[in-house]
Structure 1
């Protein structure tokens, strides 16, 4: 690794800012916890925690606000998102400082979150009026049956978001819920609560009514059940194990849920790929936010004909990465966020090395930079008995495998219960799409790592297998927050036999009608 930068200061996260943001939390009925900056170990804030009474009060305030918000025309709700978009971009310096302080990530990776929020706020502001517009589908008897389809907000949506992308995942799921006419009660991770509170503050400045977006604080294992007991819909991003629990709890109440869970994502370098271009992008695809990204690559399968060129370029680029988390754009990768993440990374690498894996780059803890820094690590000779082979590491570790043909790459990519994201590299876009379609994943990027699919807000994003269910982004990312209501008005004649007509004659008449409608190719 090249010479690293000194640890980050808190920047915009001054004591008065912390106090102002914490005033927005619906918390204080349970003992406070102290959160620390991953890079320096210094205390960031004493976070009040939410009791059951706090959560009940937050949902009551949200429901009261939602009843009024649902009456606001969609275009006016969308205008709030447009103003929010502008405020986030204009004041990005402050939120970048907060995200970096809370997570330890580099500024370039923190900016990915600002970009995500900007794209999603702009997209849903533009599309919500059309997506939520009343429809008039054809009735069972044209002209005689008048049908309207309306979209009704669910009510209060619980958004349970993780620490790794605290702005993107707390905000970009809340925005479509809000513009659809719902209220939101969010539960960010304690470690990154100030980021979510900053976003609520910005939204209120943009015109969102007070009380409509509430934040409660506490460990998910403590307050998650309290939220699900009160919510009308649940949106969760996190581990597959917790996702199963939330799915069961939501199912007991017969409410919907959207779950984006873990990933063990593959990157395929096909026989006709440009190995230099693939290697360059694979660095960012593998080590964004120090690998603490559900969408990042942990497995790379390279055709033997381009393997040597790829591995040479890739390892060189990884070794050239600059570590550190100053509040500027001078470094390539920041710190892990928790000691438990560092423990997992070290355990996976140590286990692999003990069983015969080769470390081509990294594999070193860097406490000289901060307590949780770990060098970006490239492994080869990884075999099935090693923990890192199948389990999600969620850290800066990627395993590279040589394959004899492209079909083998696809087979090995699909040899996992996960199915969140994948990447395919080919000089031919058509061939790349062909192989992408064969991979079991909710998103597959051709000649990109994850941003092409993730950043395309008009396209749905989500997982298959144990990577989750439901989708964010695209029309699906908004319509999951509404219930569809059909109102049908029958005019003039009933849908029943006319006076004096027998049931048998009615059946024959309708049979003829069905055949005529098919012949006319009517729906």
Structure 2
């Protein structure tokens, strides 16, 4: 198909971006425009030796960066905040070109790193400041908690939100004083490369933020073996592999993994609002959001009403390839991923599920388009019922009691996100508290939770370990140094004092401190 590429995305611009990727092997990967399948640029592929050199360079730059006063480091991100917003349209162009998502989602993705910067610019000074605490002997000892950067953090970013995750996770680690080696997905390396360019324009020291490219099995082990900490967003299967290797290396890892996220509509819900939320929750970013909805549980009394309105809304969505705000849903990220989504639908139908609407690929629109799809009769012996489909596909389910709905929502190995809809907020929140999920939104799908940068966001069960955002999202990139000071030698028996006397005075002192509230 013929589609005019955005004016900003020139061949020269793309070549400049990918020239940052180290590659001594001469190997490249054909990075394509998803809408058309046309090759955009040959992306260099890094070797293990390239990765080791990237860590050496990042470590050298990090030693100097960590010595910068925090105020000076934050000054870089104050400038970067303005640059990221000023260049949001170009960022969105790159995100669309490489991922095929619609314009709305691309623009919203471009805004995540500035939101993260804004939060931690304000929060970091108090979080990273030394905290003096009391020592074991009042007045004569002190203990100070000092936050030290871990060193060089390996960030492995996914293809569904390459700019938001690749940049936001790295920015937090940089603020804490670390260096970065980022591995984006080959399919979506352009937007994070542009983000690094903007950070350096804002004053980030060159060499501090390295990027390497290649297939995960080829370069992932070397990246983990050289990192001081790993931040990974992706599938549960890959997360297990990364977590195991990080554990062998005795380094920390934060893993945000898959989800099979439920939405519970209560009998008092505003159905029109719930339908509107479900449209975004299921079909936003073409269903390629870790926190998107794949299961909707409806009360018997409202099932047909919701179903009829939801089907009409899904069928009215405009789907297509465009670099403007016309289409409401874009493409899947690749033909391979389209085949995965289609296989889930075909497996469900073969095992007895019914396609209410959609269910087919749309090659007339592009090589990776798939229709908004609603299924009924999905069971756990189907791929679409038990594993993450990660596409514009959802199953509708009917429940009789709220307890049944909660049990069904929790009947999964995953626990990343959930959504509850009802007009009685106290009741809805009480139900939300019973759902086994790291994030639960009431009368929203995911944005309220994820955009709340002051509160940690992560998964439970097989959906991950650790969290991004909140104080934890910054402090995880630091090690604690306990700086303890003894002002006078009072720890032990004094000259001429027998140990029995010392023990009696010590125990008496501990009792006194407990009574007075000192310890």
Shorter-chain TM-score category?
Answer: over 0.9
The 3-state SS of whatever aligns with 2:119 is helix
* Cα 1:11–1:163 shift into 2, 3 Å: farther
1:329 to 313, 325, 328: 325
1:344 aligns with 2:330: no
Gaps of 5+ in 2: none
The runs of 4+ residues in structure 1 deviating greater than 3 Å are 5-8
Q: Are positions 1:472 and 2:468 aligned together?
A: yes
Is 1:383 aligned with 2:379?
A: yes
Distance 1:334 1:352 in 2: 24
Is the Cα contact below 8 Å between 1:379 and 1:400 reproduced in 2? yes
CA distance in 2, matches of 1:290, 1:11: 25
Aligned to 2:179, which of 177, 183, 200? 183
Quick check: 1:8–1:325 contact (8 Å CA) kept in 2? no
Give me the whole-angstrom Cα distance separating, in 2, the residues matched to 1:514 and 1:286: 60
Residue 112 (structure 2) pairs with residue 112 (structure 1): no
Q: CA deviation at 1:195?
A: 1.0
Distance 2:135 2:171 in 1: 34
**Counterpart check, 1:299 vs 2:295:** yes
For 2:400 and 2:518, the matched residues in 1 are separated by: 52
Counterpart selection for 1:517 from 506, 510, 513: 513
Match of 1:167 in 2: 163
State whether residues 321 and 365 of structure 2, in contact with CA within 8 Å, keep that contact through their aligned partners in structure 1.
Answer: no
Distance 1:407 1:418 in 2: 19
How many residues end up aligned between the 2 structures? 519
Work out the CA distance in 1 between the residues paired with 2:516 and 2:7: 68
Compared CA separation, residues 236 and 347, structure 1 to 2 (3 A): same
Matching residue within 255, 258, 266 for 2:251: 255
Partner of 1:157: 153
| 2:458 paired residue number | 462
- Structure 1 counterpart of 2:240: 244
**Paired residue for 1:17?**
13
Q: Quick check: 1:58 aligned with 2:45?
A: no
Conserved? CA contact 2:286–2:329, under 8 Å? yes
Residues of 2 paired with 1:359 and 1:395: CA distance? 15
Choose which of 420, 423, 426 in structure 2 pairs with 1:424.
420
Deviation at 1:24, TM superposition (A): 1.8
User: 1:49 corresponds to which residue?
Assistant: 45
Q: Give 5+ residue unaligned stretches, structure 1.
A: none
Deviations 1:486-516 (A, max 9, x none): 1111112321122333333333322222223
Of 65, 75, 79, the match for 1:79 = 75
Alignment of 1:267-282 (within 5 A): 267-282=263-278
What does residue range 202-213 of structure 1 map to in structure 2 within 5 Å?
Answer: 202-213=198-209
User: How many Å separate the matches in 1 of 2:4 and 2:294?
Assistant: 27
TM-score, normalized by length of structure 2? 0.97
How far the C-alpha of 1:275 sits from its partner, in A, is 1.7
Relative distance call for 1:30 and 1:233 in structure 2 (3 A) is: farther
Deviation at 1:28, TM superposition (A): 4.0
> Does structure 2 conserve the Cα–Cα contact (< 8 Å) formed by 1:34 and 1:43?
yes
Structure 1 residues 175, 501: CA separation in 2 closer, same or farther (over 3 Å shift)? same
Pair 1:282–1:490, CA change in 2 (3 A): same
1:144-202 deviation per Cα after TM superposition (whole angstroms, max 9, x unaligned) = 00221110000000001111101001011001100100000000011111111100000
Tell me the C-alpha RMSD between the 2 structures.
1.4
1:79-122 CA-to-partner distances (Å, cap 9, x unmatched) read 21121111111111111000000000001111221121121111
**Alignment match of 1:285 (pick from 281, 287, 312):** 281
**Is 1:508–2:504 an aligned residue pair?**
yes
Distance 1:6 1:318, change over 3 A: farther
Q: Distance in 2 between matches of 1:359 and 1:28?
A: 50
Residue 40 of structure 1: SS of its match in structure 2? Answer: coil
For the residues of structure 1 that align with 2:239 and 2:471, how far apart are their CA atoms? 23
Render the CA deviation track for 1:20-53: whole Å, top value 9, x for unaligned. Answer: 1112222343411111111101001101111122
Is the CA contact 1:6–1:369 (under 8 Å) kept in the aligned structure 2?
no
Q: Quick one: distance in 2 between partners of 1:6 and 1:287? A: 25
